[in-house]
């Protein structure tokens, strides 16, 4: 059953808002044959995620999605069958009026931020009557059954596993980004770690651990907010994509920001990933590798409850020691604290954490993905 969908996205900051909505829009088109318009109020951020996009275009097509500039000066548009406001962004008043006038009325959904907290299961799918007289439903992504699940494209895990079993494909991919890890005669290739994080006052202590480790590490850092901390530790200025610096056992390479599919492959190539926000956090879980989550900080400190809620779920099945080590590392990272002790302890549990990450990925992949859950919700609603 084909339907039209309007997805509205306000770019609050960074890349997560548009990263999530673009991913969702593409999947609705590719896997469910839907007609999708994605309304974005800041196309310059979109253009970083989608090379080839025009930051000035009023309308453009990408992967079958009609990407439209959401101008402050809203021009009338016929509402779609399903209307998604992402992350509680505010729809234009004139658009809401048009929804009210439409026959049949559209399904109006607010797609919420991802949280592992338990209360989410009680609120997922609940309606709320708006002053416009239209019901709005709250749709919560999540890790628990009876939430909306996580964004996951069909065949993603299989593609990742096939890639893992194809060293030539990995090498070719890395080379396409200018990454040529130098193998050591005794140790073989260095361990690859990716780093996509917000500013972190304790970063230097973690880099010290890697630099003075017995094993070699090649750290891959997409251009972004962490570069200032890296520059301070390296004692260099103006790091940019392509720069390569070595300090003892640690090689640090700055990468260009790549398209979402390539970012996935980068995560798949690494033994450990540092990720942040919402979407990269989920992608690192689909990579089936151990990770650090740099959570998006909230003014009222609400992020700590979210972090703990996720850890509570994620740690199930890990030994107490490994679970404690991971908790400490995540807490220290998110508090901007020194990482030395917690990281060195975590390193002792490397093998267990790696096996656990794959198990967690496969378990989560048993649930319906978020896009399928949205389509099912719509089918049941009409």
Which are the catalytic amino acids?
A: 17, 278
Nearer to ligand TRH, 113 or 378 (CB): 113
Residue of 25, 43, 49, 230 that binds ligand TRH (CB under 6 A):
49
Q: Examine residue 163 and tell whether it contacts ligand TRH (CB under 6 A).
A: no
Q: Which is nearer to ligand TRH, 232 or 259 (CB)?
A: 259
User: φ and ψ at 245, to 5 degrees?
Assistant: -130, 140
Instruction: Report the distance separating Cα 118 and Cα 124, nearest Å.
Output: 11
For residue 255, the surrounding DSSP H or E stretch is strand 250-255
161 binds ligand TRH (CB under 6 A): no
- 207-236: which residues touch ligand TRH (CB under 6 A)? 222
State phi, psi for 331 to the nearest 5 degrees.
Answer: -70, -45
Rounded Cα–Cα distance for residues 140 and 137 (Å)? 10
Q: Residue 156 Cβ, how far from ligand TRH at the closest point, in Å?
A: 14
* Residue 364: CB minimum distance to ligand TRH, A: 17
> Could you say whether residue 19 binds ligand TRH (CB under 6 A)?
yes
**Stretch of 12-20, 137-145, 181-189, 312-320 lying at the interface with ligand TRH (CB under 6 A):** 12-20
Nearest to 137 by CA among 314, 356, 382, 318: 382
Nearest distance from C-beta of residue 293 to ligand TRH, angstroms: 10
For residue 125, is it left (φ>0), alpha (ψ between -120 and 50) or beta?
left
Site for ligand TRH contains 260 (CB under 6 A): yes
12 contacts ligand TRH (rule: CB under 6 A): yes
Q: In this structure, what DSSP letter does residue 235 have?
A: T
Contact pick of 92, 277, 288, 323 for ligand TRH (by CB under 6 A):
277
Tell whether residue 196 is a contact of ligand TRH (CB under 6 A): yes
The rounded distance, in Å, linking the Cα atoms of 150 and 309 is: 16
17 binds ligand TRH (CB under 6 A): yes
Sequence-ordered list of residues with C-beta below 8 angstroms from that of 51, at least 6 positions apart, any chain: 259
Per CB under 6 A, the segment of 9-17, 34-42, 60-68, 154-162 that binds ligand TRH is 9-17
Contacts of 249 (CB under 8 A, 6+ apart): 210, 211, 212, 213, 214, 215, 216, 217
Residue 135 backbone phi and psi in degrees, to 5: -80, 140
- The verdict on 85 binding ligand TRH (CB under 6 A) reads no
Q: Which is nearer to ligand TRH, 9 or 249 (CB)?
A: 9
Report the 10 Å Cβ neighbour count for 379. Answer: 10
Rounded to a whole number of angstroms, the minimum distance from the CB of residue 219 to ligand TRH is 13
- The helix (H) or strand (E) run that includes residue 373 is helix 370-381
> How many angstroms separate the CA atoms of 203 and 224, rounded?
14
Identify the residue among 280, 327, 364, 367 touching ligand TRH (CB under 6 A): 280
Distance of alpha carbon 219 from alpha carbon 194, whole angstroms: 6
Nearest alpha carbon to residue 7 among 379, 370, 381, 382:
370
Could you say which of 15, 39, 330, 360 contacts ligand TRH (CB under 6 A)? 15
CA pair distance 147, 133, nearest whole angstrom: 26
The binder of ligand TRH chosen from 16, 106, 125, 290 (CB under 6 A): 16
**Contact letters (x/-) for ligand TRH, 89-128, by CB under 6 A?**
------------------------x---------------
The pairing of strands 191-195 and 272-276 is parallel
Nearer to ligand TRH, 81 or 223 (CB): 223
User: How many residues touch ligand TRH (CB under 6 A)?
Assistant: 23
Instruction: Say whether residue 257 binds ligand TRH (CB under 6 A).
Output: yes
* Residues counted in the chain: 382
Decide if residue 13 touches ligand TRH (CB under 6 A). yes
Stretch that binds ligand TRH, among 1-9, 52-60, 100-108, 279-287 (CB under 6 A): 279-287
Residues that bind ligand TRH (CB under 6 A): 12-17, 19, 49, 113, 196, 222, 257-260, 263, 276-281, 296
């Amino acid at each position: 059953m084909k339907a039209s969908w309007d997805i509205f996205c306000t770019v609050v900051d960074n890349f997560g808002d548009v990263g999530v909505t673009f991913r969702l829009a593409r999947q609705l088109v590719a896997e469910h044959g839907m007609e999708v318009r994605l309304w974005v109020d800041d196309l310059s951020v979109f253009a970083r995620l989608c090379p080839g996009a025009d930051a000035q275009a009023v309308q453009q097509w990408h992967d079958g999605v009609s990407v439209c500039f959401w101008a402050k000066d809203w021009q009338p548009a016929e509402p779609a069958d399903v209307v998604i406001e992402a992350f509680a962004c505010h729809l234009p008043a004139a658009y809401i009026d048009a929804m009210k006038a439409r026959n049949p009325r559209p399904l109006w959904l607010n797609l919420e931020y991802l949280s592992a907290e338990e209360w989410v299961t009680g609120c997922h799918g609940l309606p709320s009557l708006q002053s416009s007289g239209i019901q709005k439903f709250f749709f919560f992504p999540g890790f628990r059954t009876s939430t909306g699940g996580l964004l996951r494209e069909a065949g993603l895990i299989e593609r990742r596993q096939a890639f893992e079993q194809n060293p030539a494909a990995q090498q070719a991919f890395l080379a396409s980004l200018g990454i040529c890890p130098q193998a050591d005669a005794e140790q073989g290739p260095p361990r690859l770690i990716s780093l996509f994080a917000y500013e972190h006052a304790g970063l230097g202590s973690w880099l010290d651990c890697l630099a003075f480790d017995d094993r070699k590490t090649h750290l891959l850092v997409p251009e972004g907010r962490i570069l200032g901390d890296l520059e301070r530790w390296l004692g260099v200025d103006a790091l940019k994509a392509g720069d390569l610096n070595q300090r003892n056992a640690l090689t640090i390479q700055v990468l260009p920001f790549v398209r979402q599919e390539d970012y996935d492959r980068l995560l798949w190539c690494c033994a450990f990933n540092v990720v942040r926000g919402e979407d990269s956090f989920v992608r690192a879980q689909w990579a089936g590798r151990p990770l650090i989550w740099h959570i998006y900080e909230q003014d009222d400190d609400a992020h700590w409850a979210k972090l703990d809620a996720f850890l509570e779920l994620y740690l199930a099945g890990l030994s107490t020691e490994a679970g404690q080590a991971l908790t400490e590392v995540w807490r220290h990272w998110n508090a901007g604290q020194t990482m030395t002790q917690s990281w060195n302890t975590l390193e002792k549990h490397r093998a267990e954490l790696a096996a656990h990450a794959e198990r967690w990925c496969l378990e989560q992949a048993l649930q319906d993905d978020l896009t399928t859950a949205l389509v099912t919700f719509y089918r049941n609603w009409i």
